[in-house]
């Protein structure tokens, strides 16, 4: 018996169809591991990775940048999880209002629209929840790449939920 992680990669084609790109068993994540995954994908026909959405994968952003298969400068964070994480620190009475304000940022069509929404959010909520806008500002370089994507691509790739639901689906099978 050993404790190992299974890593899943899910691709979303430009038309919006999702397809599983692979499963990898490893004891430890690293940029070397993720670079081998990206190289393997290229050998199997993945021509380019236009956008990669991840949540805290150790070494993936470095491997992604090194692989040369990139359109954007950074690997964006999952917007849905950023909102969910922020809401976990909000009292029940403020939850709806904070969620609506966060959605103005996350759901903005462009970065030009999202940036002022962040300023408005900070002005309204920093007194009660000062770490929220600070967190969004410190991660802005990992959030902003989503705003450069067409809305259809953003909707298909702004969350890692499809990957996270895969283990549950496999257990059912």
Residues 85 and 125 occupy one common structural domain = yes
**Is the Cβ–Cβ distance between 37 and 67 less than 8 Å?**
no
Asked if residues 145 and 51 have their Cβ atoms less than 8 Å apart, the reply is: yes
The residue among 76, 102, 118 that closes a domain is 76
**Cα(82)–Cα(70) distance, rounded to whole angstroms?**
23
CA dihedral 8, 14, 16, 19 (to 10 degrees): -30
pLDDT of residue 116: 93
41 plus 60 within the same structural domain = yes
Same domain, 63 and 27: yes
Q: Is residue 44 part of a domain?
A: yes
Cβ neighbors of 9 (< 8 A, separation 6 or more) are 20, 21, 22, 24, 37, 41, 163
How many structural domains compose the chain? Answer: 2
Residues 71 and 21 in one domain: yes
- Residue from 7, 9, 6, 77 nearest 42 by CA: 9
Tens-level pLDDT at each residue, the chain (173 residues): 677 777 777 777 767 677 778 888 887 777 788 888 888 888 888 777 766 766 666 677 777 776 665 544 556 677 777 888 888 889 999 999 999 999 888 888 888 999 999 999 999 999 999 888 888 898 888 788 778 777 776 666 655 666 667 667 767 77
pLDDT at 123: 94
SS3 label, residue 52: coil
Which of 130, 135, 119 shows the shortest CA–CA distance to 90?
130
Nearest to 33 by CA among 10, 71, 63, 12: 63
For 11, the domain range is 5-76
Give the pLDDT score at 34: 81
What H or E segment, with its residue span, contains residue 66? helix 60-67
pLDDT at 53: 66
Question: How open is the CA angle 148-154-159, to the nearest 5 degrees?
Answer: 125
**Do 89 and 119 belong together in one domain?**
yes
Phi and psi at residue 49, to the nearest 5°: -110, 110
The verdict on residue 173 lying in a domain is no
């Amino acid at each position: 018996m050993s404790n190992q992680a299974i890593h899943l990669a899910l691709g979303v084609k430009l038309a919006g169809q999702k397809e599983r790109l692979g499963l990898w068993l490893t004891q430890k994540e690293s940029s070397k591991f993720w670079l081998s995954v990206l190289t393997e994908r290229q050998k199997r026909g993945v021509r380019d990775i236009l956008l990669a959405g991840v949540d805290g994968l150790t070494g993936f952003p470095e491997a992604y940048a090194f692989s040369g298969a990139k359109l954007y400068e950074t690997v964006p964070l999952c917007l849905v999880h950023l909102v969910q994480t922020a809401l976990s620190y909000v009292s029940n009475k403020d939850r709806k209002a904070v969620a609506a304000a966060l959605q103005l940022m996350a759901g903005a069509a462009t970065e030009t629209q999202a940036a002022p929404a962040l300023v408005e959010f900070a002005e309204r909520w920093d007194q009660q929840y000062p770490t929220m806008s600070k967190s969004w500002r410190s991660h802005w370089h990992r959030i902003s790449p989503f705003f450069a994507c067409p809305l259809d691509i953003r909707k298909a790739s702004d969350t890692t939920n499809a990957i996270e639901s895969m283990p549950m689906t496999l257990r059912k099978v």
